[in-house]
Amino acid sequence: MKLTLNISLCCLLMIGLISCNQEAQDDTKEIVKDTVVIQPKDTVVIEEPKHEEVEQEKVVNLGLTKDDKKNLMVIKELPLGTPFKKIKELFPPLKDPRPEGGSAELAKQGYTEASVKLDLMGKKADLEFNMKNDTLYSYYYTITEADYEKASDIYLGIQQFYNKEFGHCKEEKVEEHNHYSKSCMWNSGKFSVVMTQDINRGNISWGFQRPVEF
């Protein structure tokens, strides 16, 4: 009888131990399951593209009057090929023609020039007409300004004026043998416009001539 009880007790103890062991394993699985570590994803920082600042061209207001604009566009009233008589009618103070460049040889070939003073942009400007056989083939304006900053503003202001009329010009700069100058050239098809700032002399010269290829 005692032997039977002992065997029964042993069996119950074994079942209890197995049951406890099973529960312990299940709890361990739950703990492992609940403590899974999720690796953080890499953080990608997207940088906004940098916007490079574009230097804006200085805008020069020359304060041009109605007469200034008319004088800057004399080409509308005196196209190339105009006879000297017509030029004289538009500019009565115009001096009589003389040999171009003071050259007697050029005079023999029919090349002459005549000049007049103009009030332009609050300054005195020289306007020289060049002719062959009394027919206009080019003419040029010249303004003298010793102050470099003022001269540069006048040059840029005139450039911007003609840019509106003929589109952007072709620019060139010359720096050689201590001589500095810059120029702008426009080609309308019927004529060309050439402007130069001679920094050494303090001169700004520009004018209309027969079309040339740039």
Tell me the per-residue pLDDT of 161-195, one tens digit each, with 9 for 90 and over. 999 999 999 998 877 677 788 999 999 889 999 99
Record the tokens describing residue 51, joined without a space: 């916007």
* 188/73 Cα distance (integer angstroms): 13
The answer to whether 96 and 103 are in contact (CB under 8 A) is: no
Determine the distance from the C-alpha atom of residue 46 to the mean position of all C-alpha atoms in its chain, rounded to a whole number.
Answer: 32
**Residue of 170, 163, 148, 205 whose CA lies nearest to 59:** 163
152 has a pLDDT exceeding 60:
yes
pTM: 0.70
- Beta strands 192-198 and 170-176 are unpaired
How much is the pLDDT for 2? 42
How much is the pLDDT for 43? 52
Residue environment code for 3-30, b if the CB has 16+ CB neighbours within 10 A, otherwise e: eeeeeeeeeeeeeeeeeeeeeeeeeeee
- 160: part of which helix (H) or strand (E)? helix 148-166
